[in-house]
Chain A
């Protein structure tokens, strides 16, 4: 156990991010809050990948921003190697940023169009001057280009001279520059062609093995997440509804929402497709400004009963399941494989 906790490099506890809704121009009055992230806890070990899935607007990207200290959490803690980045300020925050970096979703907007690739990848060294001495920087940038599979001679080119996949590699090289232990990937392949997606995913996996990186991998594509993740967390309206090893989540999902999500994954087998179970959810997700009482999923759940409205199900290991889920009536049910 002692060994286990020393491997743990990221500890997120009861993370809450509410965006206030205000009214009035001069005298602003708070009339409510968008509960984008509402009580999320998880751990991340060195070299591990935690996939986070969920539909649009469930708080995945807000979670990424809070982890990166781009947004201050309303409450809760994000401890990297035991230090809370959410409370760090100034120089300490800057030092801590060296340990957690991100790869962004859209390779077309995440690179400054008016900077050369050399400047973009070299910027981390200009900000953190202690990482690399000045004369060493251009060599390091070229090494990074080579590591992500780009021609190191293209240092003086501008982002628009590269394709989407190449740009995403540039973004990954920028994330690697400071040699972080954790990389937050916020939908890193969603904007790419399928063939390029595979290349970028393979690159991310190779880099993980080479540098022992830990990934938080956010996506809405379940098959991509399954491919790369060791553990998967399923989010719904700002909360984790299920968290477990990828095989547990995909083969033995316990939460009705996860089951519904998995049943929507396309199956490339025309015969199995016929007899497969499809769970079609009714309606839209409720507004995060005014989530339902008790279980947040109850308004769209076919298992919902009285208790779901009164008592909020906690994320814990339920009887008959091997991993954590937040449902009063959790039971494993394989929806992907045809019975």
Chain B
């Protein structure tokens, strides 16, 4: 093998075109036509195009939008300021609905409607941010661990097992109590819940990635010379996102409820601050005498959770070309 070998390069000489000219002509014409007529599709643009036509997505987005407006400008919805103690009247405690106080009054004689509106902010902020953090952290680590396997996977999997071994409420209580006073109570709740919540997302993402990464299309991408980033984010992520979206939207409600448990145990949101969880916890003792102070925040909580689950479902379906 003494003769010189040609350098590795494009397989065919540059002068040789891929297609005989007879074939290229119609292709060129068609390409020109297409460029004018059609959009260039990709998974995300197609999904967005599809979502805008899904009633379930539109309804859930309207609900979420209303809830967000409610969190940012609660005074648009009620003229009563529940943070002002003078709006409460102990002598009217647990009164039923009356004009001006449609949802009735709670244990301290405060307006349940106004408190529910004002409670949206803390509850939604805690729910949404905890979900975002757990999904981002757990999801990213899950992709990397599932794709890299080996040492990275072993170390991060053992780490999540340590977190799984901590009883969630006890762990959150510990974190919130330890750092109490160093940060605002809402942030503390978010951090405590996120620290204990991400291993769940991690596991689901990792399992989905491990299933996806042995499929032929990933091997084909490697054979093309695709790098780790492209394989993880173009091939693995879209194909393992579905279970993560479902769990994340369901978890959102769990986090709002967990905030209530923490408030009940004395960390997290505390009176006079308002949150749905706190309201539910307060009204629980007198539920038989006055059910409305518990029912209304609970209904709002359910609507919020439902809206996010509906949105998650719609997004998941839109990201599956087979279901369009």
Q: Which residue numbers of A lie inside 8 Å of B, CB to CB?
A: 2, 5-6, 11, 68, 70, 80-83, 93-99, 101-102, 104-106, 109-116, 118-119, 123-124, 126-128, 131, 138-140, 142-144, 146-147, 152-153, 155-156, 158, 160, 171, 174, 176, 178-182, 210-212
Which residues of B are found within 8 Å of A105, using beta-carbon distances?
A: 216
Which of the residues B1, B10, B46, B238 comes within 8 Å of A82, measured between beta carbons? Answer: B1
Is there contact, CB below 8 Å, between A146 and B225?
A: no
Complex-state Cα separation, A182 to B12, whole angstroms:
11
- Smallest CB-CB A-B distances: 5 pairs: A82-B5, A156-B41, A158-B321, A110-B216, A181-B11
Which residues of A are found within 8 Å of B215, using beta-carbon distances?
A: 109
Give chain B interface residues in 1-53, CB to chain A under 8 Å.
1, 3, 5-12, 18-20, 23-24, 26-28, 30-31, 34-35, 38-43, 46
Which residues of B are found within 8 Å of A113, using beta-carbon distances?
A: 217, 239, 320-322
Chain B, 215-253, contact with A by CB distance < 8 Å: what is the 0/1 string?
111011111111100100011001100000000000000
B319 close to chain A: CB less than 8 A: yes
Which residues of A are found within 8 Å of B20, using beta-carbon distances?
A: 210
A and B contact pairs by CB, cutoff 8 A, 20 listed: A2-B3, A83-B5, A83-B8, A93-B225, A94-B225, A113-B217, A113-B239, A119-B43, A123-B234, A126-B230, A139-B27, A139-B28, A143-B18, A147-B19, A155-B40, A156-B46, A178-B10, A180-B11, A181-B11, A211-B12
Is there contact, CB below 8 Å, between A118 and B40?
A: yes
Which of the residues A11, A94, A109, A143 comes within 8 Å of B217, measured between beta carbons? Answer: A109
Complex-state Cα separation, A171 to B12, whole angstroms:
20
Is there contact, CB below 8 Å, between B19 and A143?
A: yes
Is there contact, CB below 8 Å, between B7 and A81?
A: yes
- A-B residue pair count with CB separations less than 8 angstroms: 158
CB distance from B314 to the nearest CB of A (A): 16
Which of the residues A97, A111, A138 comes within 8 Å of B224, measured between beta carbons? Answer: A97
Complex-state Cα separation, A105 to B216, whole angstroms:
9
Which residues of B are found within 8 Å of A178, using beta-carbon distances?
A: 10-11, 224
Is there contact, CB below 8 Å, between A160 and B1?
A: no
CB distance from A208 to the nearest CB of B (A): 13
Q: A98-B225, A139-B27 are in contact. List 6 more A-B contacts (CB 8 A).
A: A110-B217, A143-B23, A146-B27, A156-B38, A156-B40, A180-B11
Asked if A138 meets B31 with Cβ closer than 8 Å, knowing A95-B8, A99-B8, A179-B18, the reply is yes
From B239, which residue of chain A is reached at the shortest CB distance? Answer: A114
Asked if A114 meets B238 with Cβ closer than 8 Å, knowing A146-B19, A153-B34, the reply is yes
Complex-state Cα separation, A139 to B25, whole angstroms:
11
CB distance from A20 to the nearest CB of B (A): 14
Asked if A131 meets B10 with Cβ closer than 8 Å, knowing A82-B5, A152-B30, the reply is yes
CB distance from A185 to the nearest CB of B (A): 12
CB distance from A47 to the nearest CB of B (A): 12
Which residues of B are found within 8 Å of A6, using beta-carbon distances?
A: 3
Is there contact, CB below 8 Å, between B38 and A104?
A: no
Complex-state Cα separation, A5 to B234, whole angstroms:
41
Is there contact, CB below 8 Å, between A143 and B224?
A: no
CB distance from A117 to the nearest CB of B (A): 9
CB distance from A27 to the nearest CB of B (A): 13
From B12, which residue of chain A is reached at the shortest CB distance? Answer: A179
CB distance from A203 to the nearest CB of B (A): 14
Chain B, 294-324, contact with A by CB distance < 8 Å: what is the 0/1 string?
0000000000000000000000000111100
Complex-state Cα separation, A93 to B7, whole angstroms:
13
Is there contact, CB below 8 Å, between A138 and B320?
A: no
Interface-central residue, B12, B19, B46, B223, by most chain A CB under 10 Å: B223
From A124, which residue of chain B is reached at the shortest CB distance? Answer: B224
Is there contact, CB below 8 Å, between A104 and B18?
A: no
Is there contact, CB below 8 Å, between B322 and A97?
A: no
Is there contact, CB below 8 Å, between A144 and B18?
A: yes
